[in-house]
């Protein structure tokens, strides 16, 4: 069998992001806007009253009490790294986000979204800080305008090149969205129907080698609240239209595995843990290599803000339980080295391995 | 209490090099010349017949079967990294050597030694490869010539600056040696008598902030084969002069802890595991933060060369046992964050932590 050549930084980064089973069981605490809203709500304050100190504290607590369980932890450089880095467990690899929180309205009638890279920040700095990988969140509609698509694709290419230059794995998180004013929200039957197509087209696009992506962090390709088996309010008590079945969800995940040229993981996108456990179970069975879970794991802890002790108590009990639920749900996940890209651990080799490696590197 | 500010790369690197207890329990497999001699002897060949493939295989086996136990693994970039990197356990941090194997004769009558940096290699490449720290081996006699001392000190300063630039911990390994022709070998009563003084002066010199050292990797300050309690052939059957006592060994280690401005670890310098366990026990009790152990851990496995199966069998039984012996011996080691430099974990803070960290970094 052939061997896939990886450079040293990419090889070591991938190995570190995965746990001992070769599965990505990763924690995201790089939320900015959404965490701010949660803390404001809990404290009965306006969003604008929740500042750096509040966000940094919340992120630090999640890092401190949950990173010991997850194979990697994703931080943002504004409110996360400065207070949380010291509390990252030594066995949890570090991913850092490259983009700015939020997006810029763009395109016809401002119905589309543009990603903005964080000013004063760079892949070079992510490497310098000792991170194991770079993450980029990208809003993308395969059926969007040519102009905005190209704009977004260029950003991915740019970050991909930097990740090559500084030799670290590139985790791309391309997510769909509803066109402003022209479409109902993503929690609608019409968007739910489009979702599999969007996620699959995204997978195909960013699997192209020109982007230099090493791991795709993807949305679950259907909205489980709209499957026949759960549409009757199973997750949140709200009855919705049934637009597909669980079998369709499995098929869509299987399709992603077919179309993706790299290992992929499932993101939690704010759904509750109950629903996310289903996402992870189905995705893992169909070929995903794990998860990168954010709010689904920890969001309840924000309700206790600003009572630090109660926040900690929640994280170190229910938060930890959530990890174990996801661990179980991802039992069938495909180790990254068994992804078709490599075939098996034996299929990976260091680029230019040999006596002159250190000169060529 | 005051806080010590660390940059992100140094902070994260230190945390990763240590185990969950904050102790450095590290493995060295960056030997080149000495490993070559061992393999040649085992195979009944000339040293020149042992090439890249033989060395790379031996190093790969040690990495594969022992790195899962140690908090970090030290590799060389010539024969180690190319074949071993893939086999480094995800929980073992990575150190890479900066120097070339061997030294250059220098000074009056060529009695001194100069360190040579490896051509085509750099701290920048060590960072790029995803390593957590840089290691530099330096031969140094505090009572050597001004010229050679300055030359050696300059190399340390240079590497220290690069480690700052690329933001990684700098592990310096300054070791004494016997002046060629003018002194008997290091295994002599006269050198043994000088050893404490040499190690202490070295500690003092490289504790100066101008060198930018983060961890000192030091020789045991006495030669235990020459202490009253063991001089009668306890370790290798050979009777030697008693030039000091175990109490002197403890005192010398205590002195190192007093003089060192950074956490220090003990190196194994080719002694047998029995003797090294004593070294580690005494050093740990007197303030060392662990060990960086090479031949003492694995050298016996080379005797089975070229029988790969027997080499593996030795590593995964006796090699693992050696780790546990050293783990026990280092139970009293001082967690790096309790080193006087920091006082406690609370004494460490990220430099420029705050809202603008990512801009200032």
Query: What integer pLDDT is reported at residue A3 of this predicted model?
Result: 86
pLDDT of residue B327: 98
- Shortest Cα distance, chain A CAs vs residue B74, angstroms: 14
* Per-residue confidence (pLDDT) for residue A270, from 0 to 100: 87
Contact B74, B28 (CB under 8 A): yes
- pLDDT confidence of residue B191: 98
Among the listed residues A323, A299, A317, A305, the one whose alpha carbon sits nearest the alpha carbon of residue A31: A299
Residues of B in contact with A361 (CB under 8 A): 77, 125, 128-129
Q: Which residues of B touch A23 (CB under 8 A)?
A: none
Residues 6+ apart with CB under 8 A from A321: none
Cβ–Cβ contact B163 with A under 8 A? no
Q: How does residue A135 score in pLDDT terms, banded at 50, 70 and 90? A: very high
* Chain B contacts in chain A segment 263-322 (CB below 8 A): none
| Tokens encoding B215 | 């961890």
pLDDT, residue A339, reads: 95
Q: How far is A12 from chain B (nearest CA, A)?
A: 6
Q: Is B168 on the interface with A (CB under 8 A)?
A: yes
pLDDT in tens, A20-53: 999 999 999 999 999 999 999 999 999 999 999 9
Nearest chain B residue to A345 by CA: give it. B86
pTM confidence score: 0.97
Interface touch B91/A91, C-beta < 8 Å: yes
Residue A77 CA neighbour count, 13 Å, CB half? 31
Q: What is the pLDDT of residue B3?
A: 86
| pLDDT, tens only, A287-340 | 999 999 999 999 999 999 999 999 999 999 999 999 999 999 999 999 999 999
Residue of B3, B4, B5, B8 for testing the chain A interface, max A β-carbons within 10 Å: B8
Helix (H) or strand (E) holding A40: helix A33-43
Q: Is A324 on the interface with B (CB under 8 A)?
A: no
Any chain A CB within 8 A of the CB of B55? no
For A:326-355, CB contacts with B below 8 A are: 348-350, 352-355
Task: Find out whether A16 and A93 touch, Cβ atoms under 8 Å.
Answer: yes
Q: Residues A5, A318: contact at Cβ < 8 Å?
A: no
- Per residue in A159-202, pLDDT (tens digit) is 999 999 999 999 999 999 999 999 999 999 999 999 999 999 99
The torsion of the CA quartet A163, A359, B155, B194, rounded to 10 degrees, works out to 120
* Nearest Cα residue in chain A from B164: A128
Q: Which residues contact B183 (CB under 8 A, 6 or more apart)?
A: B190, B191
Q: Residues near B58 by Cβ (< 8 Å), separated by ≥ 6?
A: B35, B39, B301, B302, B305, B311
Q: Which positions in chain B touch A355 (Cβ < 8 Å)? A: 52, 78, 82
Q: Which residues of chain B have pLDDT under 50?
A: none
Task: Kindly determine whether residue A88 and residue B12, on different chains, have CB atoms separated by under 8 Å.
Answer: yes
CATH number at residue A307: 3.20.20.70
> B336, A86 in Cβ contact below 8 A?
no
Return the bridge partners of A316, or none. Answer: none
Q: Domain of A35?
A: 4-360
Task: Decide: residue B237, CB within 10 A, 0-12 exposed, 13-18 middle, 19+ buried.
Answer: exposed
| DSSP, res A32 | -
- Alpha helices, DSSP H only, in A44-177? 52-66, 81-84, 123-128, 146-165
Question: Does the beta-carbon distance from A361 to B167 stay under 8 Å?
Answer: no
Q: Does B8 touch chain A (CB under 8 A)?
A: yes
Task: Please indicate if any CB of chain A lies within 8 Å of the CB of B11.
Answer: yes
Confidence (pLDDT) at A1? 56
Residue A320 is inside which H or E element, if any?
helix A320-329
Please tell me the total count of domains within chain A: 1
Which pLDDT belongs to residue B218? 98
């Amino acid at each position: 069998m052939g061997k896939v050549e990886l450079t040293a930084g990419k090889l070591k980064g991938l190995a570190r992001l995965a746990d001992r089973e070769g599965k990505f069981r990763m924690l995201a605490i790089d939320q900015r806007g959404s965490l701010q809203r949660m803390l404001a709500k809990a404290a009965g304050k306006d969003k604008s009253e929740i500042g750096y100190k509040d966000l940094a504290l919340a992120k630090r607590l999640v890092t401190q009490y949950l990173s010991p369980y997850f194979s990697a932890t994703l931080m943002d450089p504004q409110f996360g790294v400065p207070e949380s880095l010291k509390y990252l467990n030594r066995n949890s690899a570090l991913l850092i986000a490259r983009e700015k929180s939020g997006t810029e309205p763009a395109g016809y009638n401002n119905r589309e979204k543009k990603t903005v890279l964080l000013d004063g920040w760079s892949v070079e700095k992510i490497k310098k800080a000792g991170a194991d990988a770079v993450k980029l969140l990208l809003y993308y509609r395969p059926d969007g305008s040519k102009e905005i698509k190209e704009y977004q694709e260029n950003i991915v290419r740019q970050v991909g090149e930097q990740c090559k230059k500084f030799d670290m794995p590139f985790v791309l998180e391309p997510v769909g969205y509803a066109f402003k004013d022209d479409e109902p929200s993503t929690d609608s039957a019409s968007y739910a129907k489009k979702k599999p197509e969007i996620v699959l087209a995204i997978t195909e696009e960013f699997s192209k080698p020109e982007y230099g992506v090493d791991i795709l962090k993807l949305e679950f390709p259907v909205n489980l609240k709209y499957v026949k088996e759960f549409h009757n309010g199973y997750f949140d008590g709200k009855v919705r239209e049934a637009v597909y079945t669980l079998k369709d969800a499995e098929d869509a995940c299987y399709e992603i595995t077919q179309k993706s040229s790299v290992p992929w993981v499932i993101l939690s996108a704010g759904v509750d843990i109950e629903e996310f456990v289903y996402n992870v179970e189905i995705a893992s069975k169909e070929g995903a290599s794990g998860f990168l879970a954010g709010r689904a794991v920890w969001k309840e802890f924000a309700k206790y803000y600003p009572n630090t002790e109660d926040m900690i108590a929640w994280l170190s009990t229910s938060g930890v339980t959530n990890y174990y639920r996801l661990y179980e749900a991802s039992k069938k996940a495909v180790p990254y080295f068994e992804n078709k890209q490599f075939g098996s651990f034996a299929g990976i080799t260091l680029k230019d391995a040999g006596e002159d490696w250190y000169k060529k590197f």
